[in-house]
Structure 1
Amino acid sequence: MHPLKRPACRPTITFTLTTLLWLACALPAMGADQPVGITAELPYLDVKHEGRVIRIERNPDNLNMIDPDLALTSRACPPFCIQPVVIAPGVETLGELEVLDYLKRISTGDKSVLLIDSREPEWLQRFGMIPGSISLSWTHLHPQHTPVEKIAETVEDLLGAYRVGPLWNFADARTLVLYCNGAWCGQSPTSIRQLLGMGYPAHKIKWYRSGIQGWKLLGLTTVQPRSP
């Protein structure tokens, strides 16, 4: 062969049809009996949700996959833009295990903590919600969608703050853990910014950035909301 002439490159077929058929049969058997705990020490967590006990655990099927609607990577931005890791100074960003720690407190009767699903109702019906959370749409805290006096009632009655004349006292206000659809969702960030604007202490606001997408990506339990 001439030293300057190289042979044409040909693609290498990695998987033959026989190999693919073998994988299709073998993978379910390989993954069928592998345990799926939350952590090595925590197989599940029982929490109270709307008057009933719900067991939060990971889907036991090793080959379970996330809902196709949550697998979309390129939603239009705006409005579905990537959110920062730190949503505001002093607001802690949480992962799943930290959310579960707060759910443990809630399930044992700790009234000082509230897990809030900030999404609009149609998203809850579509993807479900985290057991132990309550629905408080971002629109209920936004003055363009809800009268200011109604927002104030929600902050007093649900979140535990109270007014002294024109001023707010947040000494006994609850610690809030807010979430929405995921890192591309602006609904919980909007609620957080509204609360901070009212003077709600940043250290009493936590944010689960991964939201329902991250929750389901790990195969964790969700529940459907009650019908309106």
Structure 2
Amino acid sequence: MTTAIKLYRHPKSGHCHRVELMLAFLGLPYETIDLDMANGAHKQADFLAISPFGLVPAIDDNGYRLADSNAILIYLVQTYAKDSAWLPEDPKEAAEVQRWLTVAADNIYSGPCAARLVKVFGAALDHAGSVAKAHALFKVMDQHLASRDWLATDGITVADVAGYSYIAHAPEGGVDLAPYANLRAWLNRIEARPNFVPMATSPIPELA
């Protein structure tokens, strides 16, 4: 592949960062296109042709356009790293990956992601409830990671990539990671991998 994949994003979006992280880990050339979402760039006709719901991230891979972060992860791996361990074919391992992708779309979204939306973007959401959901999630994940290095299998998969960004930046939403040593060790393992790219940070408020 010679043409860079276009990644339409907001630089402080965890959904966008998980896609950028996957692109980087796979060593794929990509170009980031930051949308001025505050002024409605994501609702303009040209972007809606790429992402009909007006959501980021979205990609344009040489004319193939796709929105939804987890769908993009699957597409990238099955297109450019099909025989790798990022998306295992074993039915049990594949089910474990899918389970954690669902966690990313549900528990992570309604917990650390929502708490961060309040503090970083001023979203009108229940911050206290989101923080409580985040801690409930982190307790389960910390116990899960007590005897293993990765979420779904013996190696890193798309499940770990999907889960990383909002958990790593949970303190920006007022959620303290200090009690969760195993979870923090998992974050460190991801950050230590070759080609890791960080997400833009925001000030950390008083933690809860």
TM over 0.5: no
Larger radius of gyration: 1
TM-score, length-scaled by structure 2: 0.29
- Greater helix proportion: 2
Name the structure with the higher strand share: 1
TM-score, structure 1 length as denominator? 0.27
